[in-house]
């Protein structure tokens, strides 16, 4: 860039000096500089090898032209030779630029070329009227020189065209491109100035025109010294935003200037009239072609935009909007034809787990494979679309009853029996499918059908995944009800509608109450009581479990503190509080626990946090981290409902756990069902070997309690011992349990076999 600026300075200085000798020195010095730059560039920048022969020819013809030029040689006989070299120079420049711009035009080469034609033609017209015609008419040069000069100027118009084309391309304009363009612009300026002097249009010294050539040589040297010269002939980085404004200004000027000239000047003679008419006619054709091309390419782009908005890029399936159009179309005339088009809403089960454990690339591969499976599993008249993430929709416009749609759904479930083969290995996936069938009064339009199929899909998920649910109206009621619960739950805490009840946990050996489990209740303002099984999952999903759980912790520990103070229970009695995964993943959770312990003045080892096995399976790292920090402050952790999840022995060893709570479903059959009993025996043996405390949940009968005692289970809780009771009833509940002899009656005779 500095070299280019220097070129301008030298050019201006040369013009100001206006001395022939100085001008010659400046010109040859600039030529030497360019030669040096070429050598340096060849060594350090290593530009595209193919440009060297062309460059040598350009340099050769330029130097030869100057040597033979009358201004130096002063022999008019040699002027024709000089002009021939100048013509050759322009032709070579045009060819070189065409080569470069052809490689840099990018996506839309045609528009660049046509714009270039318009600029070239505009320039040609101005050159003809302003320079060429006067030169032909006024100078007393030979016809040959005149013809060569005319051809050179015409070739300049072509150079103009290629230069414009280069600039209208999609490739990024690097400094080298700017410098080459600068060099050529100065060359053209020099040409025009010489021609104007020759034509008698301007009366200035030819040294001024030579200054333009000097600047041009400096620019060319600068271009070759710049490292970006390497990518001159490559397409390089595409421009994000095409330079529309600059392009518009240049092409519009190329169009309007000739029109203005045409309006203000009359043709001199018949030849002038013919050249003008032909030039303007060609210009008009080029402009018309450009307009047609712009309209056609706009229409094409619009079509592409619509198509990409309606197609899912990953799977190539129709997107939500196109699926809605398909559903709408299939509903047309369905009633009259006795058709009941069906929509199946398909959600890949546990897709998040796949994404989290195998990575997003595997997740994408699964989606592509699922799309393929669906296509293969379905009759050809069905349409499959992907409407978001892991959600696919199938439209069968030909079904005549919900049972036909069920067949399709079953076929889809069957298709997932085989694993998907991915680059990462085989992966089994299952899907939950919701089906909605067209019914004029219920699912009467495309939106309804899709929404109802979605609702049914959630029912399938609730039913344990990998199954199908067909939409019926009662589902809508449940959705509305759930929405009402969600909204009311937000307020439940501040309206003091939540309560804790407690269930005592006893030592099976001696019946002493050793602890309590806090269980939440929600008493709504209309007096109705909602079970935690109903509202805890909603609180988890919406995140309200975080503040609610924090409240429960402090409340439960405060109750324990009161009971200890009032002598209702032992001073080392414990409080068990249920904790959901969402709470564990809350970064504040550990400090919430610590704060509750501090405020209630309960020792950390008197708090049991009950988590389910699912905590260890989904996002185990995060859970492990939280549980370890809790253990560090002395809090203990129990696995609730043990046996219903899928935790492995290795997970149990890895997690900081001190207690297992045997799920009610096993305790239920422990007295009568041999397999349930041997399962409980195994769980207890395993717990013992890991040094864990064992609690049996949901003990309802004396026989269950006796069997658990035989199996040496340490602790128990259940309706047999006590239902969960409100905090103020705990005094009488514990007193009743502690009553002398009541326990031995419950437990029956000791049997240590
Ligand atoms: P869980 O932690 O396993 O609690 C034991 C459930 O079994 C309680 O149901 C309890 O009332 C019931 N139960 C106790 N003994 C018997 C019995 O002998 N027979 C029968 N059939 N059931 C018995 P509840 O109170 O409806 O709680 C259900 C679940 O809701 C709890 O299961 C727990 O997972 C969750 N939950 C309750 N309170 C909270 C809470 O404060 N936070 C969290 N995150 N979850 C809670
Ligand atoms: Mg529990
Ligand atoms: Mg439980």
604-630 tens-digit pLDDT = 999 999 998 888 776 678 889 999 999
Instruction: Tell me, in angstroms, the distance from the centre of ligand 2 to residue 578's CA.
Output: 5
Q: If you ran DSSP here, which 8-state letter would residue 439 be given?
A: B
Ligand nearest to the CA of 644: 3
Instruction: Tell me, in angstroms, the distance from the centre of ligand 3 to residue 172's CA.
Output: 66
Q: Is 520 in the pocket of ligand 1 (CB under 6 A)?
A: yes
Give 174-219 pLDDT, tens digit per residue: 788 888 888 888 888 887 887 778 777 777 877 888 888 888 888 8
pLDDT(300) > 60 = yes
pLDDT at res. 541: 84
Ligand nearest to the CA of 501: 1
What is the best residue among 577, 578, 662, 701 to mutate for testing ligand 1's pocket, by most ligand atoms within 8 Å of CB?
Answer: 578
pLDDT(248) > 90 = no
pLDDT band for position 663 (50/70/90)? very high
Name the residue ranges covered by the structural domains of the chain.
2-235+242-296, 320-471, 484-742
Instruction: Tell me, in angstroms, the distance from the centre of ligand 1 to residue 574's CA.
Output: 17
- Beta bridge partners, 575, equal 516, 607
Instruction: Compute how many other C-beta atoms are within 10 angstroms of the C-beta atom of residue 538.
Output: 17
Instruction: Tell me, in angstroms, the distance from the centre of ligand 3 to residue 723's CA.
Output: 14
Q: Whose CA is nearest to atom 33 of ligand 1?
A: 578
Q: Is 531 in the pocket of ligand 1 (CB under 6 A)?
A: yes
Instruction: Tell me, in angstroms, the distance from the centre of ligand 1 to residue 519's CA.
Output: 6
Is the model more confident about 638 or about 484? 638
Please, what's the b/e burial string for 214-225 (b: 16 or more CB within 10 A of its CB; e: otherwise)? bbbbbbbbbbbb
Q: Is 504 in the pocket of ligand 1 (CB under 6 A)?
A: no
Q: CA 620 to CA 590: how far, in whole Å? A: 17
Instruction: Compute how many other C-beta atoms are within 10 angstroms of the C-beta atom of residue 562.
Output: 14
Instruction: Tell me, in angstroms, the distance from the centre of ligand 3 to residue 538's CA.
Output: 18
The whole-number average pLDDT for the span 454-478 is: 88
Q: Is 503 in the pocket of ligand 1 (CB under 6 A)?
A: yes
Q: Is 580 in the pocket of ligand 1 (CB under 6 A)?
A: yes
What is the best residue among 503, 519, 541, 549 to mutate for testing ligand 1's pocket, by most ligand atoms within 8 Å of CB?
Answer: 519
Q: Is 723 in the pocket of ligand 1 (CB under 6 A)?
A: no
Q: Is 96 in the pocket of ligand 1 (CB under 6 A)?
A: no
Instruction: Tell me, in angstroms, the distance from the centre of ligand 2 to residue 752's CA.
Output: 29
Hey, what CATH class is 320-471 in? alpha beta
pLDDT band for position 549 (50/70/90)? very high
Give the number of the atom of ligand 1 that is nearest the alpha carbon of residue 641.
3
CATH architecture of the domain formed by 484-742? Alpha-Beta Barrel (3.20)
Q: Is 533 in the pocket of ligand 1 (CB under 6 A)?
A: yes
What is the best residue among 532, 534, 547, 613 to mutate for testing ligand 1's pocket, by most ligand atoms within 8 Å of CB?
Answer: 532
Question: In degrees, to the nearest 5, what angle opens at C-alpha 397 toward C-alphas 391 and 401?
Answer: 100
Q: CA 159 to CA 56: how far, in whole Å? A: 18
Give 17-70 pLDDT, tens digit per residue: 777 778 778 887 888 888 888 888 877 777 777 777 777 788 788 777 777 775
Ligand nearest to the CA of 608: 2
Instruction: Tell me, in angstroms, the distance from the centre of ligand 1 to residue 690's CA.
Output: 26
Instruction: Tell me, in angstroms, the distance from the centre of ligand 2 to residue 611's CA.
Output: 8
Reference 45, options 219, 227, 235; nearest CA is 227
CA Rg, the chain, in Å?
Answer: 44
pTM of the predicted model as reported, rounded to 2 decimal places: 0.54
Ligand nearest to the CA of 661: 3
Q: Which regions of 582-681 does DSSP assign to beta strands (E)?
A: 607-612, 636-642, 659-662
Burial of 650 (0-12, 13-18, 19+ CB in 10 A): exposed
pLDDT band for position 578 (50/70/90)? very high
Give the number of the atom of ligand 1 that is nearest the alpha carbon of residue 612.
34
Instruction: Tell me, in angstroms, the distance from the centre of ligand 2 to residue 240's CA.
Output: 58
pLDDT at res. 76: 58
Q: Is 643 in the pocket of ligand 1 (CB under 6 A)?
A: no
The whole-number average pLDDT for the span 562-584 is: 96
Of all residues in the chain, the percent with pLDDT exceeding 90 is: 40
Q: Whose CA is nearest to atom 11 of ligand 1?
A: 724
Q: How many residues does the chain have?
A: 753
Is the model more confident about 136 or about 426? 426
Q: CA 580 to CA 292: how far, in whole Å? A: 66
Reference 480, options 453, 511, 445, 455; nearest CA is 455
Instruction: Compute how many other C-beta atoms are within 10 angstroms of the C-beta atom of residue 682.
Output: 11
Instruction: Tell me, in angstroms, the distance from the centre of ligand 1 to residue 231's CA.
Output: 71
pLDDT(442) > 80 = no
């Amino acid at each position: 860039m500095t070299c280019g600026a220097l070129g301008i300075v030298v050019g201006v200085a040369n013009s100001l000096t206006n001395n022939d000798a100085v001008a010659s020195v400046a010109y040859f010095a600039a030529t030497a500089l360019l030669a040096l730059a070429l050598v340096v560039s060849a060594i350090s920048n290593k530009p595209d090898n193919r440009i060297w022969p062309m460059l040598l020819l350009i340099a050769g013809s330029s130097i030869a032209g100057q040597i033979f030029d009358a201004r130096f040689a002063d022999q008019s006989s040699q002027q024709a030779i000089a002009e021939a070299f100048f013509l050759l120079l322009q032709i070579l420049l045009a060819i070189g630029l065409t080569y470069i711009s052809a490689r840099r035009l990018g996506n839309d080469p045609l528009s660049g070329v046509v714009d270039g034609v318009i600029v070239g033609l505009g320039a040609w017209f101005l050159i003809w009227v302003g320079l060429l015609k006067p030169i032909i008419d006024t100078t007393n040069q030979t016809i040959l020189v005149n013809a060569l000069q005319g051809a050179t100027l015409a070739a300049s118009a072509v150079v103009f065209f290629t230069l414009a084309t280069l600039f209208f391309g999609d490739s990024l304009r690097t400094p080298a491109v700017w410098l080459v363009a600068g060099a050529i612009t100065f060359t053209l300026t020099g040409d025009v100035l010489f021609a104007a002097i020759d034509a008698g249009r301007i009366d200035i010294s030819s040294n001024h025109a030579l200054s333009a050539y000097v600047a041009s040589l400096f620019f060319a040297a600068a271009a070759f010294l710049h490292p970006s010269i390497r990518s001159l002939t490559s397409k390089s980085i595409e421009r994000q935003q095409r330079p529309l404004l600059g392009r518009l200004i240049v092409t519009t000027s190329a169009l309007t200037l000739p029109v203005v000239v045409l309006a203000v000047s009359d043709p001199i003679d018949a030849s002038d009239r013919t050249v003008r008419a032909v030039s303007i006619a060609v210009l008009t054709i080029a402009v018309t072609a450009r307009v047609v091309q712009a309209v056609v390419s706009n229409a094409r782009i619009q079509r592409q935009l619509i198509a990409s908005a309606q197609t899912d890029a990953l799977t190539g399936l129709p997107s939500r909007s196109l699926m809605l159009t398909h559903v709408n179309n299939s509903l047309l005339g369905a009633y009259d034809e006795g058709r009941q088009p069906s929509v199946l809403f398909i959600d890949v089960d546990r897709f998040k787990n796949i994404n989290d454990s195998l990575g997003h690339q595997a997740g994408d591969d699964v989606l592509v494979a699922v799309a393929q499976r669906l296509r293969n599993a379905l009759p050809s008249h069905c349409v499959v679309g992907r409407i978001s993430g892991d959600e696919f929709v199938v439209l069968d416009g030909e079904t005549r009853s919900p049972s036909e749609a069920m067949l399709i759904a079953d076929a889809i479930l069957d298709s997932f029996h085989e694993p998907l083969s991915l680059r990462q290995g085989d992966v089994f996936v299952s899907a939950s499918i919701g089906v909605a069938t067209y019914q004029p009064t219920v699912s009467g339009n495309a939106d309804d059908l899709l929404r109802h199929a979605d609702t049914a899909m959630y029912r399938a998920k609730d039913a344990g995944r990998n199954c199908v649910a067909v939409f019926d109206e009662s589902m809508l009621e449940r959705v509305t009800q759930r929405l009402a619960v969600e909204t009311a739950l937000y307020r439940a805490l501040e309206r003091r509608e939540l309560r804790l009840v407690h269930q005592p946990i006893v030592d099976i050996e001696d019946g002493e109450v050793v602890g309590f489990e806090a269980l939440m209740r929600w008493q709504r303002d209309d007096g109705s009581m909602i079970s935690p099984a109903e509202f805890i999952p909603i609180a988890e999903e919406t995140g309200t479990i975080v503040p609610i759980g924090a409240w429960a912790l402090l409340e439960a520990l405060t109750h324990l503190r009161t009971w200890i103070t009032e002598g209702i229970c032992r001073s080392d009695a414990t409080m068990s509080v249920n904790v959901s995964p969402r709470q564990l993943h809350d970064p504040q959770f550990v400090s919430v626990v610590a704060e509750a312990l501090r405020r209630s003045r309960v020792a950390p080892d008197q708090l049991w946090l009950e988590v389910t096995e699912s905590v260890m399976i989904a996002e185990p790292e995060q859970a492990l981290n939280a549980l370890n920090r809790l253990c560090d402050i002395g809090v203990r952790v129990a696995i609730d409902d043990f046996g219903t999840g899928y935790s492995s022995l290795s997970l149990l060893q890895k997690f900081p756990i001190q207690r297992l709570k045997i799920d009610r479903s096993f305790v239920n059959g422990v007295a009568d069902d041999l397999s349930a009993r041997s399962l409980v025996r195994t769980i207890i043996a395993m717990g013992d070997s890991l040094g864990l405390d064992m609690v049996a949940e949901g003990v309802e009968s004396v026989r269950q309690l006796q069997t658990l005692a035989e199996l040496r289970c340490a602790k128990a809780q259940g309706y047999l011992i006590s239902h969960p009771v409100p905090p103020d009833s705990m005094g009488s509940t514990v007193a009743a349990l502690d009553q002398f002899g009541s326990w031995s009656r419950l437990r029956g005779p000791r049997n240590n076999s």
